[in-house]
Chain A
């Protein structure tokens, strides 16, 4: 069965420091990976997807099939990045599977 693991429940960094939110998955096929973000009092929304290979709000994520990881990175954290981040996996016709989330707190 597919599984998404986000090992950190809470990650605190100082403003301007690099950020890396970890995501590991288990799936034997070729998955699609996503990062979703939920800011305080806002809806859960898509941040980025690995097939797009894009940078959104300075965040990037690279799919590493060898390590089955899809870590989210940003070189310089901003206070407005504070939010709950969820990694999610899509495979075949199964529904989107989410990790338990990591709360990012950026300290001024």
Chain B
């Protein structure tokens, strides 16, 4: 079966712009979690959605937001981009959202210039 699909794979944006990233989970998985991966900080949790509801949110500014649709696909949005937002954004889906069955996507590499 298809894995976790993230689009686009690469993005280059300028400061001040906004961006939307997409994640399609494995069929049947109801939970989607987002992480920001950087060389210095590793993986930092952004938010988790389960059945269209945000269940957990990490310590990121309000410029970072997300949502989940009825088909479990999820989007995250970053507004007013800053240089420090450059990172690999990873999405993970799991059947129950309990953190045990994470399957990660390949990520979206965002570069802010």
Measured CB to CB, the residues of A under 8 A from B are 32, 43-46, 49, 86, 90, 93-101
Which single residue of chain A is at the shortest CB-CB distance from B45?
A: A95
User: Can you identify 21 A-B contacts, CB atoms within 8 angstroms?
Assistant: A43-B105, A43-B106, A44-B104, A45-B104, A86-B42, A90-B99, A90-B100, A93-B56, A95-B33, A95-B45, A95-B48, A95-B58, A95-B99, A96-B99, A96-B102, A98-B35, A99-B42, A100-B40, A100-B41, A101-B42, A101-B43
Query: CA of A96 to CA of B104 in the docked complex: distance in angstroms?
Result: 13
- Is there contact, CB below 8 Å, between B102 and A46? yes
How many contacts between A and B, using CB within 8 angstroms?
A: 42
Among B3, B41, B99, B104, the one with the most A-chain Cβ atoms within 10 Å of its Cβ is B99
The 7 closest A-B pairs by CB, nearest first: A100-B42, A98-B43, A44-B104, A96-B99, A90-B99, A101-B42, A95-B45
Query: CA of A97 to CA of B105 in the docked complex: distance in angstroms?
Result: 17
Classify chain B's interface size: 20 to 34
B92 to chain A, nearest CB (A): 8
- Is there contact, CB below 8 Å, between B90 and A96? no
Measured CB to CB, the residues of B under 8 A from A are 3, 33, 35, 40-45, 48, 55-56, 58, 90, 98-100, 102, 104-107
- Is there contact, CB below 8 Å, between B33 and A96? yes
Which single residue of chain A is at the shortest CB-CB distance from B35?
A: A98
